[in-house]
Amino acid sequence: MNAAEQANSIEFASKIATVVGLFKGEFPDLRVDLKPWANDRETRDLVDPDSIDLGFHFPGVSRLFRCRSLLVQIRLHPDPDTEERRVIGLEVAGFDHRGKQWTLSTIDNWAFSGSLSPDPTCGERLKQCCRQTLALFSNSPDAAQ
């Protein structure tokens, strides 16, 4: 679900802003998109309500990332007993004009998969952003309400 729609409290909006700051701090050329999903019915049917989705766009095609845009999905899991949602991991995908070129999942093995993958140094910097994001959300168990 679009990050702009998930920012339903000051604390949660602050955490989303911190995530944006983490990525922009590591990759200053990125432009953030808090609403990466279109607001049409077909797209809405595909969007996961248990995720916080952020888009990041490079000024052009990044030769180091081998993509033009990043889709970052912070994956949440609802706890039926407490009605809280906890962060279980991140999924990041790199896109260009041909579509998705690579993915990274912190839920699985933290390895890049796809037809291309980022430069190893950039890939490690991206993984560091993911680690910091996970730490941010794990500091407060009720952060993702």
Those residues with Cβ within 8 angstroms of residue 140's Cβ, 6 or more apart along the chain or in another chain: 11
Q: Which residue has the higher pLDDT, 34 or 103?
A: 103
Q: What digits encode the pLDDT tens for the residues 3-29?
A: 666 666 788 789 889 999 999 999 999
Domain ranges for the chain? 3-138
Q: What digits encode the pLDDT tens for the residues 36-49?
A: 765 656 655 666 77
- Contact, 102 vs 122, CB < 8 A? no
Q: What digits encode the pLDDT tens for the residues 118-140?
A: 999 999 999 999 999 999 988 65
Q: What's the rounded Cα separation, in Å, for the pair 68 and 128?
A: 20
Q: What digits encode the pLDDT tens for the residues 62-101?
A: 999 999 999 999 988 877 777 677 889 999 999 999 999 9
